[in-house]
């Protein structure tokens, strides 16, 4: 949900609106303001007036150009100067002060210029939701027809066959191996002896609530908070890929690495769920404090509070995703990673957590408000339905299937992402009983993401769902397309479409770079990632340090280009250049799918690059 701000409709000004204070602590606070574009904007200025003096102010989407203790003037960065009519740019900042009780203030925005639309294609008006323009790119390749539901192509004969498997335009196995290393670089806690990331060491080993150990898990993104909602989503999406495309991992020689990788968050979830108390921990670390620190996790010393859902502070969304991670983990360790004792432990936790989830329905971010600014949830039926569907797949017990069907929220999903797991439920339920609603929603989703559908495209062919991390939505949808292909939904078309998206990410784009760090010869050098950007030999480091990140964050998929295929490799641009567990999860499972189909001789020829 976005905050709705009332505006004078005839001007590109926001006059004296209140600054949104998100978080505050002894020595400072975190706030946001919104640059709303009523018309096309080229450059903007924000004037912040605080009720009490501020000693310094950190902001990434702008530069402080002048200030007095109470009045701070911020100007746009080069990369966020241009806004389309309807765009809302939310600007976060951290203010440092001492002895502030109730920080507050107002802001005024001045937008400059009203130049005409440039670039290819028209921009139509936009909703308040995303502020993005309409789909303007016309596909240069023939659009597949999306009407049929049954396989129109024989997957074997439509592929480019050879005795060693289908030809691959890019080495998906290599990209897969790199992505595993990204997750290993996100590890929190005491690292194992076989840690494959040379620049990472132990960190946050004292994460706990009172005496209850909560160390482990994955850092969320470029920061060091452990947010369980996206972590659990990422975990089951990776597990799903491991289950369905295990032969892809084997063909790439990556199965052992993958089993090691996926056990890390599962060990942590087993600590988070306390059945004897009916409590599930869902976050460790305070977003505001964490984001005010730019340094390596190994050198981090701030306090890291833990937050939980209970029978009174309900959160069936995050609990549901954790059930899915545990239940899918059971299948992975039983069938793919051969560790039966561990698998059984996961299943037992999944069962009790499912009971808790079903009995305590609610939206976690309404109670755990510390999560709201970062991973706010708008619904929980999708996660609960998906959890029940995984429980059915794990146990074969009908009661779970009945639940999954009754909780299923029908409709065409906006995307597949940490806040919307509908497509997980739809595909698992379709696999269970070929039900009509599931088939309809899967097809409607896939059609909406095609060049003929309503989701926008960049001119060079990336499906562009949102300005914030478009690569992730494209990769997630590519994974769904490959899963659908495996279930028999227009396999050749769906594989070709998935290839078009993954190939864009690996090099078929305007800049001819790989958006996956470490793949090929040209890739991002300045990802927004604290640990990667700070040398291991110093404790002094800043987001604006010159030069490329000293530690190579292999495998990280960065956010992605703007809607005209432009991208800047800037560390301070966390919209385009951050990495995150949930960005890589669908991407990695899609890579496993492509490698899997290649190993089965059923990968079609890659569509031509559009740029
Ligand atoms: C998920 O987040 C996106 C981006 O903010 C939003 O547009 C979409 O509606 C959200 N989906 C759900 C189900 O809340």
DSSP string for residues in 369-412: HHHHHHH--S-SHHHHHHHHHHHHHHH--HHHHHHHHHH---S-
Distance 476 CA to ligand 1 centre (A): 14
Distance 402 CA to ligand 1 centre (A): 27
Q: State the residue for tokens 């992730």.
A: 472
Which atom of ligand 1 is closest in space to residue 466's alpha carbon? 4
Q: Please determine, for residue 24, whether its predicted confidence score (pLDDT) is greater than 80.
A: no
Q: Ligand 1 pocket test: pick from 408, 419, 580 the residue with the most ligand atoms within 8 Å of its Cβ.
A: 419
- Kindly report the protein residue whose alpha carbon is nearest to atom 8 of ligand 1: 414
Helix (H, G, I), strand (E, B) or coil at 558: coil
Q: Residue 67: its pLDDT value, please? A: 85
Which atom of ligand 1 is closest in space to residue 129's alpha carbon? 7
Residue 151 class from Cβ within 10 Å (0-12 exposed, 13-18 middle, 19+ buried)?
Answer: middle
> How do residues 534-584 score in pLDDT, each as one tens digit?
999 988 899 999 999 999 999 999 999 999 999 999 999 999 999 999 999
- Kindly report the protein residue whose alpha carbon is nearest to atom 9 of ligand 1: 414
What is the DSSP-derived secondary structure letter of residue 602? -
Q: Which residues are within 8 A (CB) of 474 and not within 5 positions of it... i.e. 6 or more apart? A: 462, 463, 464, 465, 501, 504, 505, 560
Q: Residue 137: its pLDDT value, please? A: 29
Do residues 445 and 423 lie in contact, with contact meaning Cβ atoms separated by under 8 Å?
yes
> How do residues 209-259 score in pLDDT, each as one tens digit?
999 999 999 999 999 999 999 999 999 999 999 999 999 999 999 999 999
* Distance between CA atoms of residues 281 and 274, nearest Å: 8
Extract the runs of DSSP E, i.e. beta strands, from 4-159: 13-18, 20-25, 28-36, 41-42, 44-50, 56-59, 62-67, 71-76, 82-83, 88-96, 105-111
Ligand 1 proximity of 321 Cβ (cutoff 6 Å): no
Distance 126 CA to ligand 1 centre (A): 16
Which atom of ligand 1 is closest in space to residue 2's alpha carbon? 5
Among 36-40, 232-236, 482-486, which is the least confidently predicted range? 36-40
More confident residue, 110 or 183: 183
Q: Residue 147: its pLDDT value, please? A: 31
Q: Please determine, for residue 389, whether its predicted confidence score (pLDDT) is greater than 60.
A: yes
* Distance between CA atoms of residues 417 and 414, nearest Å: 9
Ligand 1 proximity of 128 Cβ (cutoff 6 Å): no
Extract the tokens encoding 364.
């976690």
Q: Residue 95: its pLDDT value, please? A: 85
Extract the tokens encoding 243.
């289950």
Of 147, 282, 264, 98, nearest in space to 197 by CA: 264
Q: pLDDT exceeding 70 applies to what percent of the chain?
A: 88
Of 330, 374, 545, nearest in space to 468 by CA: 374
Ligand 1 proximity of 379 Cβ (cutoff 6 Å): yes
CATH of domain 172-599: 1.50.10.10
Map out the domains of the chain as residue ranges: 19-137, 172-599
Domain covering 19-137 assigned CATH 2.60.40.290 in the classification: yes
Q: Which contiguous run of DSSP H or E holds residue 231?
A: helix 228-244
Average pLDDT of the residues of the chain: 88
Extract the tokens encoding 51.
């009720």
Q: Which residue(s) pair with 106 in the sheet?
A: 18, 49
- Kindly report the protein residue whose alpha carbon is nearest to atom 13 of ligand 1: 420
Number of residues written out for the chain: 611
pTM: 0.77
Cross-sheet strand order for the sheet of 44-50: 13-18, 105-111, 44-50, 71-76, 62-67
Ligand 1 proximity of 419 Cβ (cutoff 6 Å): yes
Q: Which residues are within 8 A (CB) of 140 and not within 5 positions of it... i.e. 6 or more apart? A: 608, 610
* Distance between CA atoms of residues 237 and 48, nearest Å: 42
> How do residues 500-524 score in pLDDT, each as one tens digit?
999 999 999 999 999 999 999 999 9
Q: Residue 604: its pLDDT value, please? A: 96
Q: Ligand 1 pocket test: pick from 366, 377, 415, 456 the residue with the most ligand atoms within 8 Å of its Cβ.
A: 415
Q: pLDDT exceeding 90 applies to what percent of the chain?
A: 73
Ligand 1 proximity of 378 Cβ (cutoff 6 Å): yes
Q: Please determine, for residue 63, whether its predicted confidence score (pLDDT) is greater than 90.
A: no
> How do residues 121-135 score in pLDDT, each as one tens digit?
223 333 223 223 233
Q: What is the mean pLDDT of residues 430-452?
A: 98
Ligand 1 proximity of 2 Cβ (cutoff 6 Å): no
* Distance between CA atoms of residues 591 and 179, nearest Å: 9
Q: What is the mean pLDDT of residues 448-455?
A: 97
Ligand 1 proximity of 340 Cβ (cutoff 6 Å): no
Active site residues: 223, 528, 569, 578
* Distance between CA atoms of residues 72 and 56, nearest Å: 10
Extract the tokens encoding 588.
């990695």
Distance 159 CA to ligand 1 centre (A): 36
Task: Report the b/e string of 531-547 with b at 16+ CB within 10 A.
Answer: bbbbeeeeeebebebee
Do residues 346 and 266 lie in contact, with contact meaning Cβ atoms separated by under 8 Å?
yes
Q: Please determine, for residue 4, whether its predicted confidence score (pLDDT) is greater than 60.
A: no
With bands split at pLDDT 50, 70 and 90, how would you rate the model's confidence at 56?
A: confident
Q: Please determine, for residue 162, whether its predicted confidence score (pLDDT) is greater than 50.
A: no
- Kindly report the protein residue whose alpha carbon is nearest to atom 14 of ligand 1: 378
Distance 31 CA to ligand 1 centre (A): 22
Count of C-beta atoms within a 10 Å radius of residue 412: 15
What Rg value do the Cα atoms of the chain yield, rounded? 24
Count of C-beta atoms within a 10 Å radius of residue 441: 24
Q: Residue 164: its pLDDT value, please? A: 60
Q: Please determine, for residue 2, whether its predicted confidence score (pLDDT) is greater than 50.
A: no
Count of C-beta atoms within a 10 Å radius of residue 235: 30
Distance 132 CA to ligand 1 centre (A): 14
Q: Please determine, for residue 161, whether its predicted confidence score (pLDDT) is greater than 50.
A: no
Count of C-beta atoms within a 10 Å radius of residue 164: 9
Extract the tokens encoding 500.
């078009």
**What backbone phi and psi angles, to 5 degrees, belong to 545?**
-55, 135
Q: Please determine, for residue 193, whether its predicted confidence score (pLDDT) is greater than 70.
A: yes
Ligand 1 proximity of 414 Cβ (cutoff 6 Å): yes
What is the DSSP-derived secondary structure letter of residue 211? T
Ligand 1 proximity of 420 Cβ (cutoff 6 Å): yes
Distance 232 CA to ligand 1 centre (A): 17
> How do residues 315-359 score in pLDDT, each as one tens digit?
999 999 999 999 999 999 999 999 999 999 999 999 999 999 999
Q: Residue 14: its pLDDT value, please? A: 60
- Kindly report the protein residue whose alpha carbon is nearest to atom 1 of ligand 1: 419
> How do residues 263-304 score in pLDDT, each as one tens digit?
999 999 999 999 999 999 999 999 999 998 999 999 999 999
* Distance between CA atoms of residues 579 and 549, nearest Å: 13
């Amino acid at each position: 949900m976005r905050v709705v701000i009332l505006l004078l409709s005839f001007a590109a000004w926001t006059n004296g609106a209140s600054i949104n204070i998100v978080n505050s602590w002894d020595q400072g606070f975190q706030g946001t303001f919104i640059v709303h574009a009523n018309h096309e904007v080229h450059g903007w200025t924000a004037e912040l007036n605080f009720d009490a003096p501020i000693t310094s102010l950190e902001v990434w989407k702008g530069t402080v150009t002048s200030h007095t203790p109470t009045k701070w003037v911020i100007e746009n960065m080069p990369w966020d100067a241009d806004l389309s009519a309807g765009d809302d740019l939310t600007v976060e900042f951290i203010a440092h002060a001492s002895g502030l009780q109730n920080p507050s203030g107002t802001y005024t925005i001045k937008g400059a210029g009203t130049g005409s639309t440039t670039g290819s294609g028209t921009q139509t008006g936009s909703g308040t939701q995303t502020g993005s323009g309409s789909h303007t790119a016309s596909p240069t390749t023939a659009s597949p027809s999306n009407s049929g539901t049954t396989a129109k192509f024989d997957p074997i004969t439509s592929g480019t066959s050879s005795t060693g498997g289908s030809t691959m335009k890019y080495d998906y196995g290599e990209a897969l191996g790199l992505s595993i290393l990204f997750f290993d670089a996100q590890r929190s806690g005491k690292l194992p002896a076989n840690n494959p990331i040379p620049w990472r060491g132990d960190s946050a080993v004292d994460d706990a609530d009172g005496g209850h150990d909560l160390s482990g898990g994955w850092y969320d993104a470029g920061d060091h908070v452990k947010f369980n909602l996206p972590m659990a989503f990422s975990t089951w999406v990776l597990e799903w890929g491991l289950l369905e495309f295990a032969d892809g991992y084997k063909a790439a020689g990556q199965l052992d690495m993958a089993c090691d990788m996926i056990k890390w968050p599962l060990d942590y979830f087993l600590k988070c769920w306390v059945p004897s108390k009916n409590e599930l921990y869902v976050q460790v670390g305070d977003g505001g404090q964490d984001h005010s620190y730019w340094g390596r996790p190994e050198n981090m010393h701030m306090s890291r509070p833990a937050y939980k859902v209970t029978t009174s502070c309900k959160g069936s969304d995050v609990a549901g995703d954790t059930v899915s991670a545990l239940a899918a983990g059971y299948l992975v360790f039983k069938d793919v990673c051969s560790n039966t004792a561990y698998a059984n432990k996961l299943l037992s936790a999944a069962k009790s957590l499912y009971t808790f989830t079903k009995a305590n329905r609610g939206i976690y971010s309404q109670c755990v408000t510390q999560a709201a600014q970062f991973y706010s949830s708008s619904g929980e039926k999708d996660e609960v339905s998906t959890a029940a569907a995984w429980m059915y797949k794990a146990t074969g017990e009908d009661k779970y299937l009945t639940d999954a069907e009754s909780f299923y929220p029908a409709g065409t999903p906006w995307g597949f992402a940490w806040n919307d797991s509908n497509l997980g439920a739809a595909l698992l339920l379709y696999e269970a009983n070929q039900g009509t609603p599931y088939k309809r929603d899967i097809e409607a989703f896939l059609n909406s993401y095609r060049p003929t559908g309503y989701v926008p495209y960049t001119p060079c062919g990336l499906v562009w769902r949102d300005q914030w991390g478009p690569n992730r939505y494209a990769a997630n949808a590519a994974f769904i397309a490959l899963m659908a292909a495996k279930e028999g939904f227009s396999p050749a078309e769906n594989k070709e479409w998935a290839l078009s998206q993954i190939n864009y990410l690996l090099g078929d784009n305007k800049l001819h770079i790989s958006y996956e760090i470490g793949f090929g010869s040209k890739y991002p050098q300045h990802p927004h990632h604290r640990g990667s950007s700070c040398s291991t030999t110093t404790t002094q480091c800043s987001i604006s340090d010159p030069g490329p990140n000293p530690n190579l964050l292999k495998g990280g998929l960065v956010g992605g280009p703007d809607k005209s295929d432009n991208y800047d490799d800037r560390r301070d641009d966390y919209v385009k250049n951050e990495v995150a567990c949930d960005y890589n999860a669908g991407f990695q499972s899609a890579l496993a799918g492509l490698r899997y189909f290649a190993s089965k001789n059923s990968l079609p020829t890659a569509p031509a690059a559009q740029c």
